[in-house]
Chain A
């Protein structure tokens, strides 16, 4: 899997990458995630596939206030959409400059422990949106208020590897880390373009 492109979401602040194997027609990871998290068709499929994890004692207790009361799939869909939408509107406000003094550091909620358990690399970070949200962005925070999103997904389990699709996210984080700091394992055209600028 190679990194084939980068997109600017917010100038000088928020960037997202595109991989050859998960490009979804050239859509960057940030846009892909927000499209999926607001798509009832996608979410219904996802929660049906992951019904057992959704209806765990943890989520039942948190959402329905009773570990034995299964979380309804429609409720999970509405919750996901609402959380994603609130987040998206915050980013839109930043993009339009209507939220003076606010930065991404105020919006992304660092979840340090989550990644440290899975990886030795301290630069790897997971960012949630709200308390107890299952939505995750995975990103490298290059410096204060400069983020490179490598991917993300819905995390219904304690460990990343136990949630559908998230085992690949550590690999994607490593790709972006290498791109920024080490040996860029990226598409040669993109590398040529970048080296031509130096």
Chain B
């Protein structure tokens, strides 16, 4: 398409924004490395606001520069376990919990163990000790678990169990009047998906990886 000279001049004279690209790549790399770190950073930001702690204050307490704290809060650097421990110790708070898998497997009630992070998610109680989430977008990045009670699949049987569970989940799902009642003894489920370009709310298979607790589309 031929543009008029005025518009063409604007295009020709615009500076290239190389800084944005650099920042965006940094943020992408940090997210790919760890999404949980970002969620912990959000909890930290909330704590700082509600307790009037500045980035400089925290930097001094923890022994890192305010710039370092700023980069963490801006999602351009991940929190390491070491830094988390230093923050926990300095602020006398608990940001993460070590899980006791043995104790967890001895309990069956998981209702309070999982906090969904995505706005469109709802908790699904999947019966005996496992939990999943519904998603209304194709991309969902799971949530934090303080007490993962889901049993890990044995590698060889994983696919087989997954397919079997999907089939049963589908049958169960069709019998329900409301997806929110969905209850199933497994880690797979089917639910309506809405994306920016697909509003059909078609049923899609979604499953939850027990170890990393990251749901994904199949």
Residues of A whose CB lies within 8 Å of any CB of B are 5-9, 11-12, 15-16, 27-28, 30-31, 34-35, 38-41, 43-45, 48, 62-63, 65, 71, 73-79, 81-82, 85-86, 88-89, 91-92, 95, 106, 109, 129-132, 142-144, 146, 179-180, 190, 193-194, 197-198
Contact = CB atoms under 8 A, between A and B. Distances in A.
A37 to B, nearest CB: 10
A131 B21 CA distance: 25
A81 B27 CA distance: 10
A88 B27 contact: yes
A132 to B, nearest CB: 8
Contacts of B137: 130
Interface string B1-30: 101011101111111110111011101100
B180 A144 contact: no
Given A8-B11, A77-B45, A92 B55 contact: no
Contact of B119 (A16, A75, A91, A106): A75
Interface stretch (B34-42, B90-98, B158-166): B34-42
Task: Label chain B's interface by main secondary structure.
Answer: helix
Nearest to A64: B119
A130 B74 contact: no
Given A12-B11, A193-B13, A41 B24 contact: no
Given A63-B119, A194-B9, A40 B45 contact: yes
A143 B119 contact: no
Most buried by A among B14, B48, B141: B14
B70 interface: yes
Interface string B71-106: 001110000000000000000000000000000000
A140 to B, nearest CB: 11
Contacts of B46: 44, 73-74, 77
Contacts, number: 139
Task: Label chain A's interface by main secondary structure.
Answer: helix
Contacts of B75: 38-40, 81, 85
Nearest to A184: B6
A76 B118 CA distance: 9
B119 A92 contact: no
Contact of B16 (A7, A12, A43, A91): A7
B117 A78 contact: yes
A85 B49 contact: no
Contact of B42 (A8, A77, A85): A77
Given A40-B42, A180-B7, A31 B19 contact: yes
B197 interface: yes
A44 B49 contact: yes
B139 A86 contact: yes
A82 B141 contact: yes
A91 B29 CA distance: 15
Interface string B39-57: 1011111101100000100
Given A63-B119, A88-B27, A31 B20 contact: yes
B120 interface: yes
B199 A131 contact: yes
Contacts of A106: 197
Given A12-B11, A75-B117, A41 B73 contact: yes
A67 to B, nearest CB: 14
22 contacts: A6-B15, A7-B14, A7-B16, A8-B15, A9-B20, A34-B24, A35-B23, A40-B44, A41-B74, A73-B46, A74-B43, A76-B119, A85-B28, A85-B31, A88-B28, A95-B21, A109-B196, A130-B196, A179-B10, A194-B6, A194-B9, A194-B13
